[in-house]
Amino acid sequence: MINKIKTLIKKYREIIVYLIFGVLTTAVNWLVYSVLVKYFSLNLDFSNTIAWFSAVIFAFITNKIWVFGSKGTQIKIILKEFWLFFAARALSGVFEIGGLHFAVRLGFDKTLFGVEAFLPKIIISFIVVILNYIFSKLIVFKKEKGK
């Protein structure tokens, strides 16, 4: 039984680690958003944008090192990966920022834990995590064939 679990963990290691860091990245996003909205009373769109940038930086570091194990240490490789990562996250970020704005405009601005529009923020975040895995796996940190 334990060997079977170890085999499954080894087989799905990348997805498991991605989900762990995806949860942590989402936590960074939600925490920054919540603090800016609740304690600094900043505009929802501005707070969401700052939260997104914070999460992208955190995600790039964790994805590069621990999830996809990118070994490129030359500045050229790091910059290329960061640019691709940022571009892919910008695409999903447009969905996230626009999605929250659209949800609020439609009246789906349910307050949760005392934070305005937090329920649609949670729902949109789950979709974004899936999109980001696909982009990172297939575009940013794709393995070279034969490696």
Confidence of residue 112 (pLDDT cuts 50, 70, 90): low
The position carrying tokens 């691709």 is 84
% of residues, the chain, pLDDT over 90: 50
Domain parsing of the chain, residue ranges: 2-140
Instruction: Give the pLDDT band (50/70/90) at residue 71.
Output: confident
Distance CA 10, CA 3 (A): 10
**125-137 b/e (C-beta count within 10 Å ≥ 16 → b):** beebbebbbebbb
Give the span between the Cα atoms of 38 and 15, in whole angstroms: 33
Three-state SS letters, 78-109 = HHHHHHHHHHHHHHHHHHHHHHHHHHHHCCCC
Over residues 40-65, the pLDDT tens digits come to: 999 988 998 899 899 999 999 999 99
Decide if pLDDT at 113 tops 80. Answer: no
**Residue 90 reports pLDDT greater than 80:** yes
Mean pLDDT of 25-52: 92
Give how far the C-alpha of residue 5 lies from the chain's centroid of Cα atoms, to the nearest Å.
27
10 Å Cβ neighbour count for 39? 8
